[in-house]
A and B are shown apart, each in its own frame.
Chain A
Amino acid sequence: MIILTVDGRSIQAPAGSSVLSACLFADIFIPHLCWLESDTVADAPAACRLCFVEIDGFSEPVTACTVTVENGMMVHTDTEAVRSLQKTALKLLLSVHKVDCKNCPADKACSLQDIAKFLGIGLGCKPFERVLKELDVDSRHPAFDYYPNRCVLCGLCVRICRDRHEQPMLSFAGRGFNTVVGYFAETSDTDPDCLSCRGCLDVCPTGALVEKSQV
């Protein structure tokens, strides 16, 4: 086991684990969206840019999911620089998010709500303007509807689909600001696997994927 200090507290973690998993396991919350419990340091996409921490010896904040624990490591999860980056990242995500919690199936079980509450900020995105995508719902998938303006592009659904199926049926599509989670079939036949799996629906943290029968 590796012993490191987080916010003055000494914690233990298996060698090779990431600072993020070590902290979460020791009940020290660090905001994150794109990380799966099974992720090693090498697997972590490091895409959501929320899990910043400061570590002695690093000149600037680093993402906790990409740093491997070391003995004697001094980690700080609650510094001004860390919180400032996390708040900015969250506001950036909220600035492209249609905040309509009452009508969202993820209400009260939404990672964005949890993180905002943890950081002590609301669901507004000031000083950023809200920029929403034109398309509100994509209904091409036979089993679920996709809401681009709820999606935070954490990629969990795409990764779950890839892990469970030899030929994953979900993919990111487009690029940059216009990236979406896409499903494209030439015919409307659905892989029977798809309807029984539900992996993507269960893992979505923001209600961007909604089962068709629920609507």
Chain B
Amino acid sequence: MTENVKSRIEAAYQALAEEARDQKETFDQSPLPKIHIGMASCGIASGALETQAAFEAALKDRGVEAHVHTVGCLGHCYAEPVVIIDHPDSGFPPILYPEVTPGKAKMLVKLFLEGGDPRFEHIMGATVENEMIPSVMEFARFNREKRVVMERCGKIDPEKINEYIAQGGYGALVKGLGRTPESIIAEIEASGLRGRGGAGFPTGKKWQFARNAAGSDKLIICNADEGDPGAYMDRTLLESNPHQVIEGMMIAALAVGATRGLFYVRAEYPLAVRILTTAVDQARELGLLGTDILGSGLDFDIDLFQGSGAFVCGEETALIRSVEGFRGMPRHRPPYPVEHGLDGRPTVINNVKTLATIPPIVEKGADWFRGIGTPGSPGTAVFSIVGNVTHPGLVEIPMGVTLRELIFDICGGIPKQKKFKAVQIGGPSGGCLSADFLDTPVDFDELRQAGAMMGSGGMVVMDEDSCMVDVSRYFLDFTQKESCGKCTFCRVGTRHLLNILQRLTRGEGKEGDIKQLETLSRAVQQGSLCGLGKTAPNPILTSVAYFKEEYEAHIQEGRCPGCACRTLTAFYIDLDKCARGCDACVACCPVDAVFTTSTRKKGIDQELCVKCGECMVACPPEYDAVVKISPAHLAPIIERPSEKKS
């Protein structure tokens, strides 16, 4: 590329950046208060739209002027809807408010925006260091994170490309345009970046293969077919900062010599689809996509394909089949998609997070990236941590942080003073680790060695009330339903594994079941055609290895140690604790199984009881009379008074 072209690209970009920065400056320097509302799917699910409407209505009603600024997701799901209010005139720094209901919104407009009182009781913290309000950065949930992929999530409006550009966005693309493809690939290889989709294959290597492949019609696909039932970081990223992913895709295209890109996004993610469509249109309008990008003479454009919901389409070859218009059934490899992909063209398939990691690496260099994380797994990991944990949500940490730090320090540990039992990592392909593994560092190789895997980054924390057999059953139920049905081991093998686990959770286990689970699991691992089948038995194998006593209790005693398997569990009312006249449990029972005894205390009809646990929740804590017990026959029988029976 001549110096002439380079300076033309630079000038074209600077013109865009200048306008974006001007807009940002005007916005930043506006004396009006700014209300930033987190508006990704999770925020909306928690009522962010209503909150926004309430802010707008209250501002109008009271004649207060302010900017309502919708942004993406900060990752703090436990606190949604999250709102940051920056009210310079009040003298306070920008303040983060959790759980802002419409009522709270109205109140904040009146008391804070109008009255200057930030209502300390509702504050989580200031977003910057200051002398008046403790900063959120003092909390481990904030200060232990290291954001590379999610750096701008929750700070910019994903539907305004200029907000991304004003923060230096598309600067890495300009750098990339000035470099040779070989030097970009070398930089990525040197960074040690491994694919964030789960398997951890070195990204630089994949690009090199595609670059070397014959054929000029190469293609980049961004795999946003996030299918793990407990993971949603790809969606959040696309909804919060789509341009970083697009920029990463464009750099990948430069490196491998592709002219087309395709986003494969789940149709179940309508908001992500909408935001991505807007983002691509805006990039095209500014000349960042399309023909002669920024005057470079290079062409690249992006299409969108909505995946129709088949977990197996996360597998590269199945994904390609589905884009081609067929049943998404994987085929054996080689040939790999980098040589023979969509319609036979060399195709690079990268995960959303992998692509989002590219611009920072190109911007700051491989050495900077290697400085984060562990030698074998440089960089950061994004997890969606859910389940029995105090502060669930999205967390981005440097690789190498231990599970204990992640669960207990950063995410606040287990609520309700319950004991930690297990953490499931990697979704249906991953494994359940026990407390013995809490000091395992998060790293591709360390997790695999422990029997789990990084997988998609879904992490489910379970307390003492969880049942490991039931969790295995849950995951096998999922993989069994999602098996494409092509190969024998996965189609039929997972069905038998599920059948055995179902028997166990019903107390119909037999001597030898554990051995059969293990033997068949190994066969399915070895015999299956694709990654789905090969990893499907992982939840069983790890939980049998680390929680064997739970399996034995189910088989030998018909007992579920977590009292989670409903057939093996019964609820009863401790008559010594039950209060006469309190009807809380009677009222809440969905099947009228709770009755009043002759002493006006309550009893549970075991025949009718569906074991939903409502009565246990409803029973006032000062009585705490509902007891859960396993095996079920241990529950004392309380006769329903005969006149009630009729």
Show the binding face of A for B, using Cβ within 8 Å: 42, 44-50, 52, 60-61, 63, 66, 84-85, 88-89, 92-93, 95-96, 127-129, 131, 152-153, 172, 174-179
Contact = CB atoms under 8 A, between A and B. Distances in A.
Contacts of A89: 488-489, 527
B487 A127 contact: no
A129 B510 CA distance: 13
A45 B331 contact: yes
B489 A49 contact: yes
A176 B489 contact: no
A179 B312 CA distance: 15
Contacts of B492: 92-93, 95-96, 177
Nearest to A90: B488
A49 B527 contact: yes
B486 interface: yes
B335 interface: yes
A128 B528 contact: no
B523 A88 contact: yes
A175 B489 contact: no
A52 B340 CA distance: 25
B485 A153 contact: yes
A176 B491 contact: yes
A128 B512 CA distance: 12
Given A175-B310, A177-B491, A61 B485 contact: no
A86 to B, nearest CB: 9
B526 A153 contact: no
Contact of A176 (B482, B499, B527, B528): B482
Q: Which 7 A-B pairs have the closest CB atoms?
A: A179-B485, A92-B492, A176-B483, A176-B485, A46-B332, A88-B523, A66-B332
Contacts of B340: 42
Nearest to B479: A176
Nearest to A42: B335
Contacts of B481: 176
B8 interface: no
A129 B496 contact: yes
Interface of B: 310, 327, 331-332, 335, 340, 480-489, 491-496, 499, 512, 516, 520, 523, 526-529
Contacts of A48: 487-488
Nearest to B498: A177
Given A49-B527, A153-B485, A172 B327 contact: yes
Contacts of B488: 47-50, 89, 92-93, 152
Contacts of A46: 331-332, 487, 529
B178 to A, nearest CB: 40
A120 B482 CA distance: 34
A47 B480 CA distance: 16
Contacts of A92: 488-489, 492-493, 496
Given A93-B492, A127-B516, A177-B483, 17 more contacts: A46-B487, A47-B487, A47-B488, A49-B488, A85-B526, A88-B527, A89-B488, A92-B489, A92-B496, A95-B496, A129-B499, A172-B485, A174-B485, A175-B483, A176-B480, A176-B482, A178-B485
Q: Is the interface of A mostly helix, strand, loop or mixed?
A: loop
A23 to B, nearest CB: 18
Interface-centre pick from A47, A66, A85 (highest chain B CB count, 10 A):
A47
A37 B639 CA distance: 71
Contacts of B485: 153, 172, 174-179
B327 A49 contact: no
Nearest to A91: B492
A60 B526 contact: yes
**Residue in A50, A92, A131 with the greatest tally of chain B CB atoms within 10 Å:** A92
A78 to B, nearest CB: 17
Contacts of A174: 485
B529 A47 contact: yes
A207 B266 CA distance: 39
B487 A49 contact: yes
Given A46-B332, A127-B516, A177 B529 contact: no
B313 to A, nearest CB: 11
Nearest to B510: A127
B486 A45 contact: yes
8 contacts: A47-B529, A49-B487, A49-B488, A92-B492, A96-B492, A175-B327, A175-B484, A177-B483
Contacts of B520: 88
Contacts of B494: 177
Contacts of A60: 526
Contact of A177 (B480, B512, B516): B480
A178 B331 CA distance: 20
Contacts of A95: 492, 496
A131 B486 contact: no
Contacts of B335: 42
A54 B138 CA distance: 58
A179 B492 CA distance: 11
A85 B488 CA distance: 11
Contacts of A63: 332
Given A45-B486, A47-B487, A176-B484, A61 B331 contact: no
A194 to B, nearest CB: 22
A172 B487 CA distance: 13
A202 B142 CA distance: 67
Contacts of B516: 127
Given A172-B327, A176-B482, A131 B523 contact: no
Contacts of B327: 172, 175
A176 B488 CA distance: 10
Nearest to A65: B332
Most buried by A among B340, B486, B496, B512: B486
Nearest to A60: B526
Contacts of A85: 523, 526-527
